[in-house]
Structure 1
């Protein structure tokens, strides 16, 4: 279930998205945004792993999405749990506003 408001704030925990995002970064999330490859997203991870921040490596709305950590040696991604359904991609991280403000760009 996605939040009823279109945007929200999250605090990053962990090092799996370093150098793009670091532990303690505060980010703005666009909850109602359709995912695309290269996006950094908030996703519901399978097998009770909770929520995670990952980058979409590839996939599509029908077949699901392959998620990757930017920091390859840290964190759990689709190499461990496989593709995730589009319904499990909750929103796109669009802006880091603290401590180093920056728009997040889609990677190629």
Structure 2
């Protein structure tokens, strides 16, 4: 999620909070191509899937790396586990909504 977040940042998370477009969230990604589970991830929830409005498209703030919905498809509401409204450490700040496509 660089440049927005760096490895080791401590986030405030609201588990069970509904996602909104442009927000950062803790998500459960589908298994990889070999069927192995992936760890929970921090992603930007960009928009509802136009083909399946009950699902979310996810993005990475770093265009050079990171898993997005282009690789794994859209996620269900149940796969969006929490939202992250603020970074607590190393320097506290509100994680503002980024306007997405």
Taking structure 1 as the reference length, the TM-score comes to 0.80
Report deviation, 1:107.
1.2
Quote the Cα distance in structure 2 between the aligned partners of 1:36 and 1:52: 17
* 1:50 counterpart residue number: 39
* 2:83 counterpart residue number: 92
Aligned partner of residue 70 in structure 2, secondary structure: helix
Quote the Cα distance in structure 2 between the aligned partners of 1:76 and 1:89: 15
Q: How does 1:59-78 map to 2 (within 5 A)?
A: 59=48, 62-78=53-69
Aligned partner of residue 27 in structure 1, secondary structure: strand
Q: How many residues align?
A: 92
Q: How does 1:13-52 map to 2 (within 5 A)?
A: 17-47=1-31, 48-52=37-41
Report deviation, 1:50.
2.2
Aligned partner of residue 64 in structure 2, secondary structure: coil
Aligned partner of residue 79 in structure 1, secondary structure: helix
Displacement over 6 Å in runs of 4+: none
The more displaced of 82-91 and 53-62 is 53-62
Q: Which runs of 5+ in 1 are unaligned?
A: 1-16
Q: RMSD in angstroms over aligned alpha carbons?
A: 1.5
Q: Which runs of 5+ in 2 are unaligned?
A: 32-36
Quote the Cα distance in structure 1 between the aligned partners of 2:11 and 2:19: 17
